[in-house]
Amino acid sequence: MRPVPEAALREIYLGEWEGLRTDEIAARYPEAWARWVEEPDWNIVPGGEREAEFDARVGQAIDQILAQHSRGDVLVVTHGGVIQVALHRVVGKPSRGLFPFRIQNASMTVLERSGGRMVISGVNDVAHLEMSLVTERQGLGDD
């Protein structure tokens, strides 16, 4: 089967912070950055995608994928923020910008449908990677 691009699984849009390093954000947007550091919340980001929009977009995409694939395995390749929203959704909490799960580049996170509910069976598995390739990035979120 060929990969099917799904625009709804793109990373959150960071508005005026898009493409900036955290030190640049802190210098250009000191008040908003101070609020973010105190309590991360996507709604703080100037011109960015709102939390409710991001959560709804990702949730609808996940629901659509699950509806199209009621049996078997599905591989989804996406961004760390999207994975965070999916994990928060399983545990029943909004992400708000707080990312308590470490998501390394090229890591595997496994969600299973079991008895009509979703179960998290693995997060940030990097066992398949050469350890020299595993990095920990600091910033808005690890993706």
Instruction: Dig out the tokens for 40 from the structure.
Output: 């991360």
- Percent of the chain at pLDDT exceeding 90: 67
Does position 142 have pLDDT exceeding 50, yes or no? Answer: no
SS3 content of the chain, % helix, strand, coil (to 5): 40, 10, 50
Q: What distance in Å separates the CA atoms of residue 40 and residue 95, rounded to the nearest whole number?
A: 9
* pTM (two decimals): 0.83
Cβ atoms of residues 125 and 102 within 8 Å: no
Tell me if 16 sits within 8 A of 47, measured CB to CB: yes
Distance CA 47, CA 44 (A): 9
Above 50 in pLDDT, residue 137?
no
Note the maximum CA span of the chain.
49
Cβ count within 10 A of residue 115 = 5
For the cut 70, the answer to whether the pLDDT of residue 140 exceeds it is: no
Residue 91 confidence (pLDDT): 92
CATH class of this structure's domain 7-133:
alpha beta
Segment 102-125, tens digit of pLDDT: 899 899 999 998 888 899 999 999
The domain locations on the chain are 7-133
Token pair listed for 58: 């990702």
The first and second tokens of residue 99, run together, are: 């990312």
Instruction: Report the alpha-carbon distance of residue 20 to residue 108 in Å, rounded.
Output: 26
